[in-house]
Amino acid sequence: MGDSLLGADQWCWVVEGEIGDPSATSEVAYSGTETDDPDDPVWSFSVRRERWRAGASDAKLLSIADDAPRRVIWMRCENGAVFAPYDGGFDLFPTSWEAVNQLQAAWPDWLSDHPAGL
């Protein structure tokens, strides 16, 4: 489904957040807590540009599905479409109604039973 939304081999911004010491400190754009409470976890965020390639991020997606303390979104550079996985699935943010209709036609089994497909 990532290929359908982001486009195979298309450039994306990858925004990644993780709790604790960042795994790639040279890429950290921001690190801190939401409050002054010393017991709050420290989140580190990084942003990088990379091509979306199906299968290349499977390990990362599996860790997110397993509720790892990390968050990642992919945003296509060309049009701003967003793929945002989380531990219960993923959200898609297409940038046009045409893209919505194409995704609905290509992936009907992924839609909910709700009349609006939500």
Domain holding 28, by residue range, is: 2-107
Structural domain contains residue 74: yes
Structural domain contains residue 114: no
Structural domain contains residue 42: yes
Number of domains in the chain: 1
Structural domain contains residue 30: yes
pLDDT tier, 94 (very low <50, low <70, confident <90, very high otherwise): very high
At 30, list the tokens.
Answer: 């921001």
pLDDT at position 17 is 86
At 89, list the tokens.
Answer: 């699935």
> For the segment 25-56, what is each residue's pLDDT rounded down to a tens digit?
556 566 666 667 777 777 788 888 999 999 99
Structural domain contains residue 113: no
Structural domain contains residue 25: yes
Burial environment of residue 13 by CB neighbours within 10 A (0 to 12, 13 to 18, 19 or more): middle
